[in-house]
């Protein structure tokens, strides 16, 4: 499958590398490919400089948001949540029309310091905002409740059978995304329902951030344990 991953931060790079290793054709989308390719310093989170990372992933192209989305069958939004709508607008509605659009971003608002707040929250979600802004796309919210390493390698945890959630209005799109999740190694895939259920998935983030602080590591995930026979 031809996949465009929009966003060149840790999440975007990690997903792009994993999809490429699985045999998919992958291109990264960015606002300014020249500026991105020239980054020789570490990223905001201290990651590998992009130029160095790109040298080790020669099979992954780097194009504008519009070019990357336009030539791919499936698009992943791995941009900063605060800028996701602008990035997708730069990709263009025509490039997203009829395509599965996987949203892994979280609408974190750092304007009031740490820990960040969610905006929107409760009565709306970033997933819903994207679906409203691009009604021709088939938006599926997933993978936003874990760190990038676990997104692509659930087996790195001692109990690999942890949970990943799906939200979206299109059943076929969710099945396509479920297939990708299974390729990555996920087994407990829980379909929460339509795109409004992305509110719940996004509201996991305040708990995730506090667990990160308490545990001192981002290498954890949630496991939904079902009731036994006869349980309410």
Percent of the chain scored above 70 by pLDDT?
Answer: 97
Mind listing the pLDDT tens digit for each residue in 144-188? 999 999 999 999 998 878 999 999 999 999 999 999 999 999 999
98: pLDDT strictly greater than 90: yes
Q: How many CB atoms lie under 10 A from the CB of residue 139?
A: 30
Judging by DSSP bridges, how do beta strands 117-118 and 108-109 pair with one another?
A: antiparallel
* pLDDT grade for 189, boundaries at 50, 70 and 90: very high
Token pair of 42 as six digits: 């570490």
Query: What is the predicted pLDDT for the residue at 230?
Result: 60
Secondary structure class of 52 (helix, strand, coil): helix
Tokens of 232: 């309410």
Residue 179 in contact with residue 153, Cβ under 8 Å? no
Residue 15's nearest CA partner among 180, 178, 138, 162 is 180
Mean pLDDT of 46-70: 93
- Taken in order of first residue, the domains within the chain and their CATH numbers are 2-215 (3.40.50.720)
pTM of the model: 0.95
Mean residue pLDDT across the chain: 94
Cα 12 from Cα 4, distance rounded (Å): 10
Rounded to whole angstroms, the Cα distance separating 79 from 150 reads: 18
The CA–CA distances, whole Å, from 22 to 27, 68, 138, 153, 193 equal 14, 19, 23, 12, 28
Is the pLDDT assigned to residue 42 strictly greater than 90? no
Query: Cα–Cα distance between 20 and 121 in angstroms, integer?
Result: 34
């Amino acid at each position: 499958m031809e996949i465009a991953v929009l966003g060149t931060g840790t999440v975007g790079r990690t997903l792009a590398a994993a999809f490429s290793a699985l045999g998919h054709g992958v291109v990264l989308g960015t606002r300014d490919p020249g500026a991105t390719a020239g980054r020789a310093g570490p990223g905001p989170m201290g990651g590998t400089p992009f130029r160095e990372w790109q040298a080790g992933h020669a099979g992954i192209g780097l194009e504008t948001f519009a070019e990357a989305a336009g030539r791919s069958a499936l698009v992943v939004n791995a941009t900063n949540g605060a800028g996701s709508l602008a990035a997708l607008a730069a990709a263009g509605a025509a490039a997203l029309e009829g395509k599965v659009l996987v949203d892994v971003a979280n609408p974190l608002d750092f304007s009031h310091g740490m820990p960040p707040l969610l905006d929107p929250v409760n009565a709306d979600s970033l997933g819903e905002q994207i679906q409203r802004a691009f009604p021709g796309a088939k938006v599926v919210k997933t993978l936003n409740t874990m760190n990038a390493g676990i997104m692509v390698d659930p087996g790195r945890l001692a109990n690999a059978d942890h949970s990943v959630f799906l939200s979206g209005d299109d059943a076929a799109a969710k099945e396509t995304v479920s297939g990708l999740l299974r390729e990555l190694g996920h087994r407990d895939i829980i379909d929460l329902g339509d795109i409004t259920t992305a509110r719940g998935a996004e509201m996991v983030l305040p708990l995730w951030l506090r667990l990160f602080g308490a545990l001192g590591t981002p290498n954890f995930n949630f496991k939904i344990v079902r009731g036994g026979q006869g349980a309410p």
